[in-house]
Amino acid sequence: MTDRPTPNAARLPEVVEAARPHARCLVPQDDTKGCPPAGPFPGLRAAVIYSSVTGNTRRLAEALTLGHLPLFSVTRQPDTTAYDLLALGFWVRKGLPDARAQRCWAGIRAKHIFLFGTLGAWPHSPHASRCLEGARALLTANGNRIVGEFLCQGRVSPHVLAASARKGTHPMTEGRAARLAEAARHPDAGDIAAACACWRAVLAALAPQAVPPALPPLPCRTEHSLIMSASTKPLFPSPLPYGA
């Protein structure tokens, strides 16, 4: 017995469309008081930090390293002052980023942030939109700037489903069962490719030296928006070379 359904099992077109990941690449043009300025920055230092229980968000995080960026779990959170651009991964719990991710984010201030996460709901549903809105609010309250975001489905923990069944808060309707069955297929190769495309586009705008030559920047598949700034003002007076 496998944890995930067979990839080539029959799927209705409407299910495939509903499961399409949400991806936005946003490199803002206007500086905001208290937030880091727009790029690009030759010395920008990037890292990936994630929270994961079932492995969904970890799979995305590992891909977003592009084979060379530092990768950290929230269980061993790094000194975030050493980085300027952070890809922050989370999984959705009760409509918000999970508790461990929130504890990690509480100490992150004045950074460029690429948000990425997984959830059991459809990525373009009103529920997913509220989840992202909550995640943004948590980070922007500390003066961080969101420069991109990605959200896709992921297998829901059996423990979460069991707890929900005991409480009777979410009856297992036919529609919910179909959605959870689809979520168990994700993140799939398409999700990972879309997440990396968005992340590479952000890196290409803010930290081009962090994009491996073999992996040129690709456009996001949905809601792609890159706004380049004419500013060349460095983020720090004397930025360290990338990887220092």
Query: What is the C-alpha radius of gyration for the chain, rounded to an integer number of angstroms?
Result: 18
Q: What is the pLDDT of residue 64?
A: 97
User: In terms of DSSP H, where are the helices of the chain?
Assistant: 13-18, 56-64, 99-105, 126-140, 158-167, 174-183, 189-206
Please give the average pLDDT of every successive group of 10 residues along the chain, which has 244 residues: 48 85 76 51 85 95 95 92 95 93 95 96 95 97 96 88 73 86 94 96 82 50 31 29 27
d(CA 43, CA 55): 32
Contact between 75 and 89 (Cβ < 8 Å):
no
Token pair listed for 173 = 């309707």
Q: What is the pLDDT of residue 208?
A: 75
Domain ranges of the chain: 17-226
pTM for this entry:
0.77
> Residue 201, Cα to own-chain centre: how many angstroms?
14
Q: What is the pLDDT of residue 167?
A: 76
CATH number of 17-226: 3.40.50.360
d(CA 40, CA 203): 9
Angle at 137 between CA 133 and CA 142, to 5 degrees: 155
